[in-house]
Amino acid sequence: MIVEKMIRVLRRLFGCTTATAAVEAAIFAPIFLTLTLGVTDLGSGMFVRMTVNAAAQAGAAYAVINSGSVCVSLTTACLNGIKTAMNDATGNSSFCTGSVCTALITSCADGSPRCIIVSANYPFSPILPDAADAWATTQTFSSTATIRVQ
């Protein structure tokens, strides 16, 4: 008799479906939100990395195109032109502020008389800083383009 009563109570308890959607939502919403923000962080980081790479390539292209005129030596006009090209490549007119964008004209490691080295370094802070994984910390993405000029 007691066993039958317990079985009836258990059947009623497990047969009740009131508020199951709310319980399921409470369980899966934090997991879904964390995964969504993590994927967004990863995508944003990849976008910043590609932007930094595009900026360095654009600055190097400007230096190559103008290596016979404005960029014979690293003058202010040459450096400003390189930074403008890098800003244009990123679509951000303030990308090259501070020490984010640098350029250098030096002798090449392979013995060529002149190399132009263009670099871009840009910080990236994720939405979920210091999450469960080490990739979610603040990072600086860097890209360097080296061009030999005759």
Which strands make up the sheet holding 114-124, listed edge to edge?
Answer: 101-106, 114-124, 139-149
Distances in whole angstroms, Cα of residue 65 to Cα of each of 4, 49, 86, 98, 102: 90, 25, 14, 25, 18
Count CB-CB contacts under 10 A for residue 106: 11
Q: What pLDDT shows up at residue 107?
A: 84
Model pTM score: 0.76
Q: What pLDDT shows up at residue 132?
A: 57
Average pLDDT estimate for 28-42: 86
User: Cα separation of 17 and 45, whole Å?
Assistant: 43
Least confident of 64-68, 108-112, 121-125: 108-112
Q: What pLDDT shows up at residue 134?
A: 61
% of the chain beyond a pLDDT of 90:
30
User: Cα separation of 71 and 62, whole Å?
Assistant: 9
